[in-house]
Amino acid sequence: MPFVQLKQLDKHFESRADCVIALNKFELAVEEGSFLGIMGPSGSGKSTLLSILGGLCHPTAGKVLVDDIDIYGLSSEQRADFRREYLGFVFQSFNLIPYLTALENVMLPLAVKKLATAEKKRMAAEVLKRVGLAHRIAHLPNQLSGGEQERVAIARALVNNPPLILADEPTGSLDIATSEEIMELFKELNAEGQTIIMVTHNDENRPYFDRIVVLRDGVIDSDNARIPKAVA
């Protein structure tokens, strides 16, 4: 059974007289261990799709099943718990908390968990080391370069060992060399078995994905698994 299933998903945005259809009878299944790239022009619905996948935005109709959990059948507080346990977000503009150090930012998803502070620190330091930032632990975001901030954001998404990582334009504000480094990092994580869904419109990222879904006007325009992957 696919790890993520979207069934008959509709999303309409109503503003005054207009009714914008962002997603229309959308169907998608994502296997565990894939590195899925969602591409498409602006306004094609890919960001909406990611919000809905992330349990942040109620679809107008349809179901989202992650690990067979109907996430919009949960209460709002339960959905927060779901996000904490199942998802790691990497946001477009990193979205680090400016008054927290790199280590503290990475510890954020752990802040509401009942773990000893020392254990939280150990976990956060470990993922920071994994993304190559062991030496920048005590720096505030404004003391880090763009690439480094991105790595902190990735570490934060990883710290809870979530089954699924959702990334929104993670290379959007990085130069080409840094973008490549970051994509390599995602690739490595995926090679270790991490399921990743990434929204991007940067064509240079194409080679890293094992499957690319292109959206247009709220429906799938093309869906090609470039390197067929054996499902375990």
Partner 1 sequence: MKLETIAFNNLRRRKSRLAFLIAGLLIGVSTVVTLISLSTTLTEDVQKKMENYGANILITPHSDDLSLNYGGISLGGVSLDPQEIHQEDLIKIMSIRNHLNISVVAPKVLGAMIVNGERVMIMGVEPDKEFRLKKWWKVNGRPIEESHELVAGASVAQKLGLQMGDKVEIGGETFTLTGILEKSGSQDDQILIAALPTAQRLLGKEGIVSLVEVAALCANCPVTDMVDQISEVLPGADVSAIQQVVKTRMHALNQFRNFSLAVAAVVLLIGALVVFVTMMGSVNERTREIGIFRALGFRRAHIMRLILFESTLVSIIAGIFGFLIGMGVTYLILPLMTDNEVALHWDPMLGGGAVLLALLVGTLASFYPALKASRLDPTEALRAL
Which residues of this protein are in contact with partner 1, per CB under 8 A?
Answer: 47, 50-51, 54, 56-57, 76-77, 80-85, 87, 89, 91-93, 95, 97-100, 104, 107-112, 117, 120-121, 140, 156, 160, 168
CB of 87 to partner 1, least distance (A): 8
Q: Identify any residues that bridge with 220 across adjacent strands, giving them in sequence order.
A: 215
Task: Burial-class residue 7 by CB neighbours within 10 Å (0-12, 13-18, 19+).
Answer: middle
Pick 30 or 53: Cβ nearer partner 1 = 53
User: What residue type is 224 in one-letter code?
Assistant: N
Q: Which residue is it, tokens 């959702």?
A: 166
Q: Say which residue the tokens 């945005």 belong to.
A: 13
- Nearest CB to partner 1, comparing residues 165 and 210: 165
Contact 54, 95 (CB under 8 A): no
- Nearest approach in angstroms of CB 83 to partner 1 is 4
Q: CB 226 → partner 1: shortest distance, Å?
A: 26
Residue 130 or 156: which CB sits closer to partner 1? 156
Least separation in angstroms between residue 105's CB and partner 1 is 10
Tracing tokens 């679809």 back to the chain, one arrives at 59
Beta-bridge partners for 193 = none
Give burial (CB, 10 Å; 0-12/13-18/19+) of 227: exposed
The residue among 96 and 133 lying less far from partner 1, judged by its C-beta, is: 96
Least CB distance to partner 1 at residue 119 (A): 11
User: What SS3 state is found at 207?
Assistant: helix
For partner 1, the closer CB: 80 or 176: 80
Nearer to partner 1, 37 or 54 (CB): 54
With b meaning 16 or more CB within 10 Å and e meaning fewer, what string describes 63-83?
A: ebbbeeeebeeeeeeebeebb
Are 217 and 22 in contact, with CB atoms under 8 Å apart? no
